[in-house]
Amino acid sequence: MRTSPIEVVPCAAHDLPRLFGLAKGDFARFPGWSDRRVLETLAWDAVFVARERDQPAGYVAL
């Protein structure tokens, strides 16, 4: 199996809708989920995006 390289880069504004969708898809079913809080985190925290084949594959917010 051939693997694709993963790059980690600072978040760009055009990544935000996809990152929000990733977070919501994984965590919205858990108690305490807040669309507003996640959107604020993406807008104001230091966010780094993991990219595979130039597509967001995950992220971390610090």
- Rounded mean pLDDT of 15-32? 93
Domain boundaries, the chain: 6-61
Q: Contact at 8 Å (CB) between 45 and 23? A: no
From residue 14, how far is each of 5, 19, 27, 31, 45 by CA, in Å? Answer: 21, 10, 21, 28, 16
Residue pLDDT, tens place only, 26-57 = 999 999 999 999 999 999 999 999 999 988 88
Q: Where would I find the H helices in the chain?
A: 16-27, 35-44
- Rounded mean pLDDT of 6-20? 92
User: Structure pTM?
Assistant: 0.79
